[in-house]
Amino acid sequence: MWGVRRWVAGVSLGGMVIALISVLVVGAMVAAAVVSRQSADVHRRAEVLADQVHASTQEMSALKWRANSEVLEGTADLSLSGPLVLDGTRIVSQLHGEIAALSRLAPGADAARLQRDVRRLYLGGLQVLALAQGRRHLSRATKAAMQSQFQPLLDRMDNDAKHIAELQQVVAGGALERSLAASIGSLLLGIGALAVLALRLARLRRGTILAEQVRAVERRSEQRIRALVEHSSDVVSLLGRDLRVRWQAASVRRLLGLEPGALVGAPIASIVHPDDKALFDAFLSARLKDGTAGRVRARLLHASGRWCYVETVGENRLDDPAVESLVLNMRDVSERKEFEDQLRHQAFHDALTGHANRALFKDRLRHALAGSLRTHRAVAVLFLDIDDFKTINDSLGHRAGDELLRRVAARIDAVVRPTDTAARLGGDEFSILLDGVDSDEEAHVIAGRIRHALTDPFIMDERELTVTASIGIAHGDGSLDASDLLRNADMAMYAAKETGKDSVRTFEHTMHRRALARLELRGELARALANHEFELDYQPIVSLQAGRTVGVEALVRWQHPTRGRLAPGQFIPLAEETGQIVSLGRWILEQACADAHQWALALNGTQPPYVSVNVSVRQLREDNFAETVATALAASALQHRSLVLELTEGLLADDPHAITRQVQQLKTLGLRVAIDDFGTGYSALAQLQHLPVDILKIDKSFIDGLQVRHQKANLVQGIINLGHSLQLDVIAEGIEQPQQAHRLKAMQSPLGQGFLYSPPIHADAVLARLTTHDSRLPAAP
C-alpha cells in the first residue's frame, strides 16, 4: 500500500515538474519573441526617424536654395519674423527633436554626429541672421560663407540619416526574423510540452486508476483482515517499547471478557498471574532484546476473576514503520492445558484406582533413593498382592473385580502416610513407597495397618467378601536402583504367599536365589518335554454308595534330573505364563488316554474307570482344541465316554459364550465335561442351565470341617441337591476323614475323592487297584 502511494506521488510530482519546465521554457520563448518584436519595432521607429531626419535635411536644403534665390533676386526677407527665418527655425527645431528621438532609439556615432551637425546648423543660421539684420541685400562674401557652411552640414546630415535608416532597417529585419523564430520555436516547444504533458497525464491517469484499484483491493484486504482479527478466537495485541498496550483486537472480549480499550496504556503484565509473572517478563524482555519470535504459556486474569491459560506468541516489529510495536498473538489453551494434564495424569496414574502407575512409582523411587544418599535415611518398598484374587475375579466377573480393586486402593490410601506413594503396578499388585523409614519395624507397622484395613468384609453385589493380602518389604539405602529394589519387594511378597498367604515378609538374599531357581525352571520346561521328564499320577474317584473305583483324575508330575520330583504347583503356573501349558496339556491328554485304554484292555470286559483330565484356560482358547482331543482319542482307541475334561469354574466367567461354544464342540465328540472347584465362584450357577456339563466337583474347602460346621454342610447339601435336580454327577473332593465320607454318604453324594481313599498313584498301581477291587472304604464311625 505504501509502495503504491509513493508510486502515485512520484508520478504526480514528475508530471508537475514537466508541466512547470514546459511552461517556463514556453514563457522564455514567448518572452524572447516579444523582446525581439519590441526590438524590431524600436529599430523600425528609428528607421522612420532617420527617414524623417533625411526629409527634414532635404527640406532644409530646399529652404537654403529658396533663400539663395530670394537673396539673388533681392526679395529675401531675413527679418526675424520673415518666412525664411520662421521656416528655418521650424525645420531646425524639427531636426533637433527628430535627432534627439533618434539618438534615444539608435544611439551611436551617426546620431551623435547628427546632433552636433544640427547644432552647427543652428549656430550657422544664427550667424547669418546676425549678419543679415538690417540689410536688404547680402554681400557676395556672405553668400559664399553661407554656401560653404550650410551645404556640407546638410549633405553630411543627409548621409548620416540615410546610413542610420539603412542600418535600422537591417537591424529591424533581423529582430523580426528572431521574433518570428522565437514565436515558432515557442509554439513548437509548447506543442511538444503539451504532448509530453498529455502523455504524462494519460500515464498518470492510468497509474491513478491502477492505484485506485490497488487501494480498493487493499481496502477489501484490510477489511477482510480486520474482520478476521476482530472475529478470530486469537487476540492480537500491540505493545510499545514500554510494554504497555497500544491496541488490542475486539476478540479480547471472548478471551478475557474485556473491552478492546480496557488495557490500552496499561502494562500487559498487570493481568499475568503472580506465579507466572517472572516467566512472562523474561519472555517479553527476550523479544525486545534479540528481536526473534517466541512463545510462552501463562495464566491471564479474566474479567470474571478466574485465571485462563493463554499461549502467547510474540514478534518484535518495533523497527517496522508500518507496525512499530511488539506484536502478541494470544490464544486460550485452557482446555488444551486441562487435556494435557489429563494425559499427563493418565500417563503416570492408574486409570482404575487413581494410584500412581509403574512409571511414576519408579520415577519417585529413583528420586527417593537419590535423596537417601544425602539424608542417610533408608527407603522401603511394600509390594502387596491380593490373595486368591483370580478366583474372586473369575467368580464374580471382571466388573466386580475392578470395583474390588478400587475399594482396596481406597483403604490403602486411608492408612498410608501423606509422604508415602501408593501405586497399582497391574492386576491385583500394589506397591507403596515409604520415603524415610528408620527401621524394618516401622515398615512392618505400616504393612500391618494395611492388612488390618482389609479385614473388614467387602460388600459386593450383596455378598460379603473377605480379602487378605500378602506383602513383601524391601529396604534400600541408595546402593540399589529402583528396579532392583522393586524386584526384591516382589520376591519377598512371593515368599509371604509361600508361607500361607495373608502375611508379611522382608526380603532376604536367599529369596533371590529361589527366584533365580524359579527363572531357571521356566527355561527348563521346554527341555523337559523333549526329554520326557514328565509323568502322570492318578487319584481314584470312588462311588460312595457302592464302594468301588469308577474313575481316576490325571495329575502331572515333573521328574526333574537335579531337583527331584516336582508337584504341579511348582511348574504349572510357569507353564501357564510361558504358554508351554498347551504343549504340556496335549501330552497329558494323549498319555492319559493311552493309559486308560491299557486299563480297559487289561480288565478284559470289566467296566473300566474313566480318566479325568484338567484343561487350562490357554488350552481351551486354542481354536483347534477339539481337534486335539479327537486326535488323542483316535490315537489311543479309547472309548469317548471314558474321557472327562475338567474345567475350573473360573473359566465360565472369562468368556461364557466362547466357552459354551467350545464345550458344545467337545460334547459332539461323545466325551463328558466336569466343572472343577464348584462352589468357589458364583458365575457357574447362572451358566449351568446353558452349559452342557455332566459332573460337578465340590471344592475341598467345603469338605474341610463338614462334620462340625452346619453352614458348610448346608452348602454342600445344596450342591448335591442341585446336581440331582439337573441330573448331574457330583464328586466331593478332598475327603480325608471317615466322618466326612459318612456325612457325604448320608447326604446322597454319589462320588468322592481324596487321601482317605487313595493318594495319587502311578498307572501300574491303578491297574493293581482295579484288579484287586481295593476301594479302601472307611469304617463306620
Residues 6+ apart with CB under 8 A from 542: 548, 549, 550, 751, 752, 753, 757, 775, 777
How sure is the predictor about 385, in pLDDT bands with cuts at 50, 70 and 90? Answer: very high
CATH number assigned to the domain with residue range 233-337, chosen from the 4 options 3.30.450.20, 3.40.50.720, 3.60.15.10, 3.40.50.300: 3.30.450.20
Q: What's the mean pLDDT in 508-524? A: 78
Residue 641 pLDDT > 80, yes or no? yes
pLDDT at 398: 84
What confidence score (pLDDT) does residue 170 get?
66
pLDDT band at 780 (very low <50, low <70, confident <90, very high): very low
Taking the domains of the chain in order of start, what are their residue ranges?
Answer: 2-208, 233-337, 344-507, 523-772
Burial 99-109 (b: 16+ CB within 10 A, else e): bebbbebbeee
Q: What confidence score (pLDDT) does residue 139 get?
A: 58
DSSP state letters, 689-728: TTS---EEEE-HHHHTTTTT-HHHHHHHHHHHHHHHHTT-
Encode 712-745: b = buried (16+ Cβ within 10 Å), e = exposed: bbeebbebbebbeeeebbbbbbbbebeebbbbbb
Instruction: Identify the sign of the CA torsion 651, 653, 658, 660.
Output: positive
Residue 37 has pLDDT above 90, yes or no: no
CA distances from 381 to 385, 452, 465, 468 (A): 13, 18, 27, 19
Computed on alpha carbons and rounded to an integer, the radius of gyration of the chain in Å comes to 68
User: When comparing pLDDT for 234 and 244, which is higher?
Assistant: 244
Over residues 771-778, the mean pLDDT reads: 57
Residue 7 has pLDDT above 50, yes or no: no
More confident residue, 21 or 347: 347
Dihedral sign computed on CA atoms, order 413, 416, 420, 422: negative
Span of 101-115, 498-512, 513-527, 704-718 with lowest mean pLDDT: 101-115
CA distance 621 to 662: 8
Q: Which of 41-55, 352-366, 463-477, 703-717 has the lowest mean pLDDT?
A: 41-55
Q: Are 430 and 409 in contact (CB under 8 A)?
A: yes
Least confident of 88-92, 155-159, 467-471, 766-770: 155-159
Q: Share the mean pLDDT of the chain.
A: 81
Least confident of 90-99, 128-137, 340-349, 363-372: 128-137
The mean per-residue pLDDT over the stretch 17-29 comes to 67
Q: How many CA atoms lie within 13 A of 253 on its CB side?
A: 9
pLDDT for res 638: 93
Lowest mean pLDDT among 342-356, 407-421, 512-526, 619-633: 512-526
Domains 233-337 and 344-507 alike in fold: no
Q: Is the pLDDT of residue 138 over 60?
A: no
All three cell numbers of 342: 489429563
Supply the pLDDT for residue 107. Answer: 76
CB 711 within 8 A of CB 701: no
Q: What CATH number labels 523-772?
A: 3.20.20.450
Q: Let me know: does 471 contact 493? Beta carbons within 8 Å.
A: yes
CATH architecture of 344-507: 2-Layer Sandwich (3.30)
For residues 574 and 584, what is the distance between their CA atoms, to the nearest angstrom? 11
User: How does DSSP classify residue 480?
Assistant: S
Report CA torsion sign: 539, 543, 548, 550: negative
Position 776 scores a pLDDT of 46
Query: For residue 354, is pLDDT > 80?
Result: yes
**Which residue bears the cell 525645420?**
91
Query: Judging by DSSP bridges, how do beta strands 695-698 and 729-732 pair with one another?
Result: parallel
- Confirm if 234 and 331 have CB atoms less than 8 A apart: yes
Are 298 and 333 within 8 A, CB to CB? Answer: no
Query: Average pLDDT, stretch 747-761?
Result: 94
Residue 167: per-residue pLDDT = 65
Q: For residue 733, which of 700, 778, 777 has the smallest C-alpha distance? A: 700
